[in-house]
Amino acid sequence: MSNLEESIELRNGIPIPRIGFGTYLIEDEEPVIHAVSTAINAGYRLIDTASIYGNEKGVGSAVEESDIPREEIFLTSKVWNTEQGYENTLGAFKASLKRLKTDYLDLYLIHWPKPVSDETWKALEKLYKAGNVKAIGVSNFMIHHLETLLESCEITPMVDQVELHPQFPQEELRSFCKEHEIVVEAWGPLMQGKIFDKELMKELSMKYNKTIAQITLRWHYQLGHVAIPKSSIPERIKANIDIFDFEISDEDIKRIETLKGDRIGAHPDKIN
């Protein structure tokens, strides 16, 4: 079986861990420091944050105080909508580095598609060429957003971080990204907690003697993309990565597909 250290190679050869730790809605300072420290000690090596989360300072403290060398942590942040534009993005990146107490990022993303995304992307390309970030990408970009960006970009996005879970599996987007060598990363992989109400997942949990979260994250793993579950509860943080000692059958993968429905988060075309 595989393990937590397994990664996917981005187009430029940089490895990104298959399972990461999300920090959305975890408060700054002590709460996020404790959660990220627990995650790192449990074996997570991908830590995901964003300027809008308001917890970069605490995330940076946890990474800095960890016994794990900085170069072994895959640290991600994102430029927020109001920070977009060429000069604004360069300033936002610099501010994120300061809060995160680091001199580089492993991945920097445009948080949502906006009319100024082209200029924002040019700023990300500059940061990448300068060696300030090891990989660049986007978040919440649908196919038509990616198509527009691909028409003008010099460097193709290496990652698209999107809402992706059993209810919203994004097959067409995953196929498009595979064609263009863009790694898909799933936020909200546990349906923001709604997965726990699904009777099918309760049944599968009993069948495989695994938690619903473990079944769901194993589903993500077998689909071949990156997933970044979030929790602030130590026991759940540790349990969420215990997914490498079993495999979901093809039959049950197809059963999970029957949960397909609508997205839970905001529609990328309607964000402002």
Rounded to the nearest 5 degrees, what angle is found at the Cα of 193, between the Cα atoms of 191 and 197?
95
Pairing between β-strand 159-163 and β-strand 183-187 as defined by DSSP bridges: parallel
Q: What is d(CA 223, CA 234) in angstroms, rounded to the nearest whole number?
A: 26
3-class DSSP state of 161: strand
Residue-wise burial string across 145-162, b where 16 or more C-beta atoms lie within 10 A, e elsewhere: bbeebeeebeeebbbbbb
Closest CA to 269 of 84, 141, 165, 167: 141
Q: Are the CB atoms for 150 and 138 separated by under 8 Å?
A: no
Instruction: Choose the catalytic residue: 53, 108, 128, 221.
Output: 53
Distance from C-alpha of 10 to C-alpha of 29, rounded to nearest angstrom: 32
Give the separation between CA 80 and CA 232, rounded to whole angstroms.
23
Pull the structure tokens for residue 110: 């445009």
Active-site residue flag, 104: no
Would you state the structure tokens that stand for residue 4, as one six-digit string?
A: 């937590």
Question: Which residues are CB-neighbours of 202 under 8 A, at least 6 positions away?
Answer: 212
| Nearby residues of 254 by Cβ (< 8 Å), 6 or more positions away | none
Catalytic residue list? 53
